[in-house]
Chains A and B, each alone.
Chain A
Amino acid sequence: MLEDLFSVVKTRLSADSKNDEPRRSKTDIPKDLLFKCPRCSNVTFMEEFQNNGKVCPACSYHARLSAKERIEITVDKGSFEEFDSEMISKNPIDFPDYDAKQQALRDKTGLKDAVITGKADIRGEKTVIIVMDSNYMMASMGSVVGEKITRAFEYATENRLPVVAFTASGGARMQEGIVSLMQMAKTSGAVARHDQAGLLYIAVMTDPTTGGVTASFASLGDIIIAEPKVLIGFAGRRVIEGTIRQKLPDEFQSAEFMLQAGFVDMIVERRRMRRTLGHLLRLHKTEEGDVNE
């Protein structure tokens, strides 16, 4: 079953790589046939890495997935209905070249911005799902990310549904200035209303969950799950190293570090994630008509 799920990822990846990458040949080994782990520097064949669900076989670092890949391995087949799929950002502070940069990224990634939202079933349980995609401007939070996440929580509150959010972000969308900062308040406000309605919110922190996303909705889950070895933190590592003038240990700001510090409930491997989410959703289910007001 799980193997099937990962072969879906694999098919999708090979379909994606058709774009403009050089054709692969068996004689010389181009870089894209190998995966070098950013955590432990171990090198594996890309195919093995992909068959392993994009997890480093040496250290179990859980590498980044696109939002589409994540949705495919998480939700019940055919159950996903996307919200706000056409929303694109304007240029609120007239930042030079921001419009052109966004257009180029939309063309390159096939994404409209850095988050996909919608509703779906996970092992039969209905939920709203939010998935951030680090391929788009490192999933920084601008107007579209903020608005789509806010709407997703509002929809969940109105329809009394839980929310599962896979977070990933480099932080604020600098090019949107203060408007980006305000998305932290906007999304957290929507989470607070969902919370007050007595509904379940599960945050799944994936690589990397940092900056303004950590300092807003990502840290507000009733349950916070992290994938192994992913980066979780508020401040950038280099900023801190600059302040203290020394190198930080490798495990600093890892999922394991945050678990130890008390900010993550559990670390769950990718191959067990879907099952874990299904169980947790079912555990929190209220009977039909038994709405706790």
Chain B
Amino acid sequence: MSDLTASQRLDIVRHKGRPTVKDYIPLIFDDFFEMHGDRYFGDDGAVMGGVCRFKGTAVTVIAQVKGRNLEENKQCNFGMPHPEGYRKALRLAKQAEKFHRPVICLVDTSGAFCGVEAEKRGQGEAIARSISEFMTLRTPVISIILGEGGSGGALAMAVCDELAMLENAIYSVISPRGFASILWKDASREREACDIMKITAEDLVELKVCDHIIEEPAGGAHNDCEQTAENISDYISAALKRKLQKGLDELLNERYNKFRVVGEYEENVSADEPG
């Protein structure tokens, strides 16, 4: 695997030719039937989902859509979902639970959309509900971060039994730009932020957040989309095999504990406190 800094990887995931879910889905899945709408408000172009087959097994795929050009980006709001996008994702996840299909989430967003309408329709509630429902969803869930995994908007689709990241993907509490502007009041220090935030797949394996790194072709996924799709496909096969052999109660306990153990604190340290 290549030895790049976080900011170099950021350049790769922002490369114009970086494949998106629209490239990957036809290469990885068969008979994809797209399903639309959250049944309450509308259909969010930033999240696409449907049912299909993966190597013969029926699965539900839920994916965050980034555009490959301006026209597509208008459709998908530059990959930033509104509340109805999360509610569509959750609807399809509950449907997968009903029909005992595993769920594959493909994550690629700089974050949930920040706007007046998103607030009015409860962006916070939509993400919270998604997180808590995925935590208890009684079917296997595999999430893969393809490019950017930005903040709660990514986490809403990354509460899962196994989290994998493409080799150059990043996953962060806030975009590096937002981080720089909040902490240093200077958004232009984005690259510097990138390199201290611990956001690469390797960093996140170390922090017990990411379970598996999917290799990309030399130079990045844009150099060989088919090869990347094959690598993703191999990973999904292996992950599903691991998860489908477990009982649901065991699976859910492990999912709970996967998140339960993250956090670094100490106790009974009053001695070092002055006065």
List the interface of chain A (C-beta within 8 A of B).
84, 86-93, 95-96, 106-107, 142-144, 146-147, 150, 172, 174-186, 188-189, 191-193, 195-196, 211-212, 214-220, 233-236, 239-240, 243-244, 248, 252-253, 261-263
Contacts and interface: CB of A to CB of B under 8 A. Distances in A.
Interface in B232-275: 256, 259-260, 262-270, 273-274
B14 interface: no
A263 B174 contact: no
A89 B198 CA distance: 18
Interface string B193-212: 00011110001100101000
A46 B118 CA distance: 38
B1 interface: no
Q: Is the interface of A mostly helix, strand, loop or mixed?
A: helix
Given A176-B264, A219-B129, 4 more contacts: A88-B267, A178-B204, A184-B155, A211-B152
B35 interface: no
Contacts, number: 184
B123 A234 contact: yes
Interface in B18-61: none
B265 A147 contact: yes
Interface size on B, as a range, is: 35 or more
A143 B183 CA distance: 19
B269 A215 contact: no
Contacts of B121: 261
Nearest to B153: A215
A86 to B, nearest CB: 5
Contacts of A183: 262-263
B155 A181 contact: yes
Contacts of A214: 124-125, 128
A174 B123 contact: no
Contacts of B172: 177-178, 181
Contacts of B136: 192-193, 196
